[in-house]
A and B are shown apart, each in its own frame.
Chain A
């Protein structure tokens, strides 16, 4: 059974700081990994999707890396802003079809960026 863990559970940083969020998964047989952002009481917004054959993806100030063999991914946020404050969720999709047609989520990292 796939399990996804995110560390730290919460993070508070001053504006302008670069930061790294960590995600680990127990079963390396994944099809892809996605990072999402969730604002309080809202749905999820997809930030980046990394296919299992890729090592990283970049979008603006965000960079996500994937080390499938070690079961790890990181989300790097450059020059953080107060608007980045949200919960960041990591999710993986299995690659063996059938019962793996689903996202397995971590519990998330609550990020607070202080002005």
Chain B
């Protein structure tokens, strides 16, 4: 059974640009969550989607957005990038959000 995949794995952008990250969950999983990981703040919750609906959003500015498609694949978008957005962005999927979360390898974003 294939695991959670994330693309791209690495990304370099400059301030002011926007970026779109993609996540393909494990087949059959309908819940997809996104997290940001930085050395200073650790892992912080961004948002969670279930059956194309955003059910919960973390404490991030509106520049961070996401969506989920009918096949459960999810994308997150960050507009007007800032230096502080440099981080490892992790996606996790599960059958239901309150069950074991399976994480992808992450997308490492560097903003210059």
Contact = CB atoms under 8 A, between A and B. Distances in A.
Contact of A101 (B42, B55, B90): B55
Given A42-B106, A43-B90, A43-B106, A105 B101 contact: no
Interface residues of A, number: 25
A66 to B, nearest CB: 15
B33 A103 contact: yes
Interface in A16-73: 31-32, 34, 36, 41-46, 49
Nearest to B49: A101
Q: Is the interface of B mostly helix, strand, loop or mixed?
A: strand
B56 A106 contact: no
Contact of B42 (A45, A98, A108): A108
B75 interface: no
Interface string A83-115: 000000101010000111111111110000000
Contacts of A32: 98
Interface of B: 4, 33, 35, 42-45, 48, 50, 55-56, 58, 90, 92, 97-106, 108
